A and B are shown apart, each in its own frame.
Chain A
Amino acid sequence: MTAQAGRQAVEASPAAFLFQRLRGALAYGLRNPMLAAGLLILLLLLAIGWLGPLFVSPELAQPASAPPDLAPSAEYPLGTDDQGRNLLAVAIVGLPLTLQVGFIAGAVALGLGTILGVVAGYVGGVVDAVIRGLADILLTVPGLVVLVTIAASIRGVISVTVMALVVASLAWMWPTRTIRAQVLTLRQRSYVQVAKMSGMRTHEVIFFELLPNLLPYLAASFVTSTGAAVLASVGLEALGLGPQNEPTLGMTIYWAISFNALVRGLWWWWLMPIVLIVLLFMSLFLVSSGLDELSNPRRRRKYR
């Protein structure tokens, strides 16, 4: 694919090339509706965070900026909570924060997983045994429960970034396992063998031969890791272990639970975070299924 694109870039002008690629992407999106729909929802969710502050001041997400417990109305489209937060503002501030936790944790987990997976798969031997053993053991451990220990111990200093790192600390095992498996198949290929025999060093083979071929796979893994990280962080936050002063979606659920919003019939309070999180999961699921199709050549060939 890259070789073909390179040839086209040389032949045509940059603008025509860009246009062609765009048209190709659009045509591909139409044939891969899962990816297109997923990206569309994700873009919509991102737009809430980007464009929202133009219409509603983020300061209204702080307590006591509105009368408490109001049902949705013209003035407060998503209602207000027990402490007088404008829930529309909470959605606009909280959604990007939750996305941020997911993206940071997903990136860190995938980064760690890629390094460990590539090293384990390529170097092999004792290194492989140690890394695989550690990942296997940690996979059987209930992640959320162990994260509770970690988050509870550093409760006072939890910020959005720390939250993401806590979640990432137990999210690298699955990427490690799957990337290791991919590397094992790649290292047997002839071009890697040739590179090795032509005197390339280990890290050169990894960077120039293995990683470029893993990229489509890594993209799909990143989406999966992000989804898993959002799931874990919202779970921790719902238990009250999130950043106490940030109105993330998980913390909104926590406040709604601790103030008995359910029993008191304040449905708008907990429904907003649920709808947004479910939409987020749907979009990530669709994107990862779509990317899976893209990165799996056997399935992609159908569309050519």
Chain B
Amino acid sequence: MATTEPPRRVLRLSRSHVLRRIGLFFLVVWGAATLNFFLPRLAPGDPIRERLFRMSTQGGYTQQGIEEMVKAYQAEFGLDQPLWLQYLRYLRDIVQLDFGYSLTLYPAKAIDLIMSALPWTIMLLLVSTILSFVLGTLLGAGLAWRKSPRSLHITVGPLLALSAIPYYMLGLILVYVFAFVLHLFPLSGGYTAGQLPTMTPAFFLDVLHHSVLPAASIVLTSMGSWALGMRGMMVTTEGEDYMTFAEMRGLRDRTVFLWYGLRNAILPQFTSLALALGHIVSGALIVEVIFTYPGVGSLLFQAIQGADYFLIYGIVFMVVVAIALATLLVDLAYPLLDPRIRTGSK
């Protein structure tokens, strides 16, 4: 990847790009934190009071005790102080990832609950996103390539239909058919109930077995958009001179397809990857609810059902940060993949 540009200019250009991207990341994180701070205060009603009232009707507390608890919470969060001071304190806590205590599982801190759920979600998403990206891209490239088998083209219809429906809807159908009727896969959970999470191969296989259906519902529904995007790009590559030249040189079909066609058509797919991440995560959170997968989505569902506001805001903040970080990494890695960006011709 030799470039004729002087190296210093390359460095300066990418540095300003990096700085702007990192700035955007912090802007998004700060925005999410601010939203979490102001929304509950603008909303009608008092979430804490509402939550504690709910508990009182269930647990038989007296009204007086409730008021004391509300006061204790208000003191704990400094709600008697001026708003700007509260906001600064809040930002300080957020930087330390302190979202307060869970209201439903009281002694537990929100951040601890989130941290124990996060690995499950990240693993599920990582595997299914990469899988759907690779499969969809290959399929899309194959669809646009003249020499690919005819049978490949009949997959277009079903793929379009699948990509038109939300992830979790396919999830419901998959659970019913493959878990409830056919008993091929477990109905729910991330691992067999009662088993202790250990680092043994048997446990790993168990986890894998439980993740097949949730992953499949994400992969199958998101593959279509990758395939369609890739097909569009590959069609333009198909007419390029270097493709004809590569074929005339007598290179093997596979070499021409992978290294001359696919490699040159794939770049815009990475930009889409950054944008699609948010969409995939949003869908995957509900997929987890359907499979009672022990990840962030299920935790969010429980928190919403229990009106556990601190936990809800904590989860939302963490998910926004995680996606912003992933998008940042994809964006920063993009110039490494595309030599044209590195030379500054944009």
Task: Report which A residues bind B (CB closer than 8 A).
Answer: 137, 139-146, 148-150, 152-157, 231, 234-235, 238-241, 253, 257-258, 262-263, 265, 267, 270, 274, 277-278, 281-282, 285
Check A140–B28 contact: CB distance below 8 A: yes
- In the bound complex, CA of A277 to CA of B219 (Å): 20
8 Å CB contact of A278 from B24, B165, B180, B320: B165
Return B316 CB to nearest CB of chain A, in Å: 5
8 Å CB contact of B166 from A139, A234, A239, A258: A234
Residues from chain B with Cβ under 8 Å of A146 in the complex: 32, 35, 316, 320
Main secondary structure, interface of B, reads helix
Which of B42-50, B81-89, B141-149, B237-245 interfaces with chain A? B42-50
- Any chain A CB within 8 A of the CB of B99? no
**Interface residue ranges of B124-144 to A (CB < 8 Å):** none
- Any chain A CB within 8 A of the CB of B18? no
- Any chain A CB within 8 A of the CB of B230? no
Residues from chain B with Cβ under 8 Å of A156 in the complex: 44-45, 50
Check B164–A137 contact: CB distance below 8 A: no
Closest 3 CB pairs of A and B: A144-B282, A142-B278, A153-B43
Report the contact-size class of chain B (Cβ under 8 Å from the partner).
35 or more
- In the bound complex, CA of A285 to CA of B168 (Å): 18
Check A278–B169 contact: CB distance below 8 A: yes
Check A150–B39 contact: CB distance below 8 A: yes
Check A262–B35 contact: CB distance below 8 A: no
- Any chain A CB within 8 A of the CB of B279? yes
Check A265–B180 contact: CB distance below 8 A: yes
A-B contact pairs, 18 of them (CB 8 A): A137-B24, A140-B275, A140-B323, A142-B279, A142-B282, A142-B323, A146-B32, A148-B304, A153-B40, A154-B44, A235-B168, A235-B282, A262-B180, A265-B180, A278-B165, A281-B166, A282-B161, A282-B164
8 Å CB contact of A152 from B28, B312, B324: B312
- Any chain A CB within 8 A of the CB of B70? no
Closest to A142 in B: B278
Check A149–B39 contact: CB distance below 8 A: yes
* Given known A-B contacts A149-B313, A267-B176, A282-B161, A240 and B304 have beta carbons under 8 A apart: yes
- Pick from A145, A156, A267 the residue with the most CB of B within 10 Å: A145
* Given known A-B contacts A137-B24, A153-B40, A263 and B327 have beta carbons under 8 A apart: no
- Any chain A CB within 8 A of the CB of B103? no
Check A142–B165 contact: CB distance below 8 A: no
- In the bound complex, CA of A142 to CA of B176 (Å): 29
Residues from chain A with Cβ under 8 Å of B301 in the complex: 239-240
8 Å CB contact of B173 from A137, A140, A274, A282: A274
**Interface residue ranges of B278-296 to A (CB < 8 Å):** 278-279, 281-283, 285-286, 289-290
